[in-house]
């Protein structure tokens, strides 16, 4: 039935894109004519972060979905858990690792820039940070920046904002 379900196997729609499940282990972020993000640049940033450590979701491949007529960024499928089901002590351990890995990315010249959604956009505030069996993971490098592309001054500015968002996330993750 046209109009009922736009995308088969849709998982979720974030601020800009729709993500569909391809299999038990892979998902695809769809780039249709109406998305403003650039798939090539998002793939490059994801690969950059993947080369540093395991915090950002793993890039798999770029592909084209014939039926949907959409470009797709295929990545590792994460299965998020609800952090409220875990003891605060355990959450603190996850947070420590998260902070270490994020700092490692920063030192390597990658800043995520989207830990927290702007407050004027609806939905979950920290929906780009997913808790999995393997700990906290980051998705959505759509507006991430690389130091070698934006230069030292802009990168430093972005880092400052990110440190603030990290502190807000820590408070949120421990207190709920
Ligand atoms: N690798 C993944 N595994 C499972 N779910 C994902 C994955 N990537 C994205 N999602 C889901 O799809 C939503 C949108 O993806 P995201 O990359 O954040 O796009 P947007 O730029 O629209 O925010 C996410 O908030 C999340 O619910
Ligand atoms: Mg998002």
The tens digit of pLDDT for each residue in 94-136 reads 999 999 999 999 999 999 999 998 876 777 899 999 999 999 9
Distance, in Å, from the CA atom of 107 to the CA atom of 116, rounded to the nearest integer, reads 20
| Cross-strand pairs, 18 | 13, 30
- Res 123: pLDDT: 74
The pLDDT value given to residue 1: 38
Ligand 1 contact via 99 beta carbon (within 6 Å): no
Domain 83-175 has CATH 1.10.510.10: yes
Cβ(79)–Cβ(73) below 8 Å: no
- Are 45 and 144 in contact, with CB atoms under 8 Å apart? yes
Do 52 and 86 touch, CB atoms closer than 8 A? no
Q: Domain boundaries in the chain? A: 10-76, 83-175
Model confidence pLDDT, tens digit, residues 39-77: 999 999 999 999 999 999 999 999 999 998 999 999 999
Q: Report the predicted TM-score, pTM, of the whole model to 2 decimal places.
A: 0.94
Answer whether 10's CB lies under 8 Å from 2's CB.
no
Instruction: Give the environment of ion ligand 2: residues with CB less than 5 A.
Output: 14, 128, 140
Query: Rounded CA gap, 173 and 87, in Å?
Result: 11
Residue 141 CA, closest ligand 1 atom number: 17
Structure tokens at 7: 């995308």
Does 144 contact ligand 1 (Cβ within 6 A)? no
- C-alpha 102 – ligand 2 centre gap (Å): 17
Confidence of residue 5 (pLDDT cuts 50, 70, 90): low
Return the minimum-mean-pLDDT range out of 67-71, 136-140, 151-155: 67-71
Distance (Å, whole) CA 162 – CA 35:
25
Q: Mean of the pLDDT values across residues 20-30?
A: 96
Q: Where are the alpha helices (DSSP H) in the chain?
A: 39-52, 88-108, 147-150, 152-175
Q: How many CA atoms lie within 13 A of 121 on its CB side?
A: 12
């Amino acid at each position: 039935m046209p109009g009922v379900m736009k995308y088969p196997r849709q998982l979720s729609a974030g601020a800009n894109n729709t993500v569909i499940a391809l299999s038990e282990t892979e998902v695809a972020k769809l780039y249709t004519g109406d998305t403003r993000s650039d798939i090539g640049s998002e793939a490059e940033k994801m690969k950059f972060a993947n080369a540093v450590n395991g915090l950002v979701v793993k890039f798999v491949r770029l592909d084209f979905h014939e039926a949907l007529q959409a470009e797709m960024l295929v990545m590792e499928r994460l299965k998020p858990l609800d952090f409220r089901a875990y003891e605060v002590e355990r959450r603190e351990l996850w947070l420590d690792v998260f902070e270490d890995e994020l700092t490692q990315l920063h030192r390597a010249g990658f800043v995520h820039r989207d830990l927290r959604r702007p407050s004027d956009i609806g939905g979950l505030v920290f929906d780009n940070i997913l808790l999995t069996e393997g700990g906290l993971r980051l998705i959505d490098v759509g507006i991430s920046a690389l130091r070698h592309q934006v230069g030292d001054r802009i990168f430093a500015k972005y880092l400052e904002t990110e440190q603030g968002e990290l502190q807000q996330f820590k408070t949120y993750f421990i207190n709920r």
